[in-house]
Amino acid sequence: MNAKRTDGRTKIAVVTGAGSGIGRAVAVELLRTGWSVALAGRRAGALEETAALAAAADRVAGGEDGAAGEALAVRTDVSRPQEVSALFAATVGHFGRVDLLFNNAGTFGPGGVPVEELSYEAWRHVVDTNLNGAFLCAQAAYRQMKEQDPQGGRIINNGSVSAHTPRPLSVAYTATKHALTGLTKSLSLDGRPYRIAVGQIDIGNAATDMTQRMRTGVLQANGETTPEPVMDVADVARTVRHMAELPLEANVQFATVLATTMPYVGRG
């Protein structure tokens, strides 16, 4: 476990989209292993459920009193600049600094809609959440990490295998995930002078509510609809924690974690 900084203090993380899915799994994994975490999401009740799950996981694991980190729930819409600013102000006000941002909040949007039928409003919603929201959170984290003492921190962006290979009828989601890779590379370069490490995890078919349809059948590039395998979301969470707990002198620039037999590598 490496949830302590070199000065012996608990590491502080901000996890967006922490009320469900991958964000919840990562937040629970960090909390139960000693990180303190600001939980960000649009539904306050769901954030409180995440905090309760982390406390329960710590008890099941036999953790000593105080072994788990402290959770701070902050209702946030990452597409709104003022709410992102308020999230980081609340985090720093409560915990004193930010060591990690897991930039996870995202939406697939109206999947299965042909390009010519996709409304601008739907396109804009996906872009505002997946790309603009990621930028706003990264910018706020960057500002804090640059000025805090000791300086630096880590940002991990949640990409997707769609950042490499699109699914049919997913133009908005795929475009934002490709853009997120550019954001990751640029932030990684610009963060070097300030000990800000930036990486990206590209995830394929983790078992969450968002991927439930994979088990019953999803459209393939050849026009067929077939079920796809999924993997335990806890395996994703452990991978993120590994990336997060590296010293700032080391960085996982890109990691791809996917269900072993999903149709991604090769044909079919």
Which residue(s) pair with 38 in the sheet?
A: 14, 72
Cβ-contact 95, 149 below 8 angstroms = no
CA distances 103 to 52, 126, 136, Å, are: 22, 15, 10
Backbone angles phi, psi at 24, to 5 degrees: -65, -45
Residues marked as catalytic: 173
188: Cβ contacts below 8 Å, ≥ 6 apart: 197, 198, 199, 251, 253
How many helical (H) and strand (E) elements, i.e. helices and strands, does the chain have? 8, 9
Helices 120-127, 171-191: inter-axial angle, 10-degree rounding:
30
Query: What would the two tokens of residue 12 be?
Result: 């502080």
3-state SS assignment for residue 156:
strand
Cβ-contact 148, 97 below 8 angstroms = yes
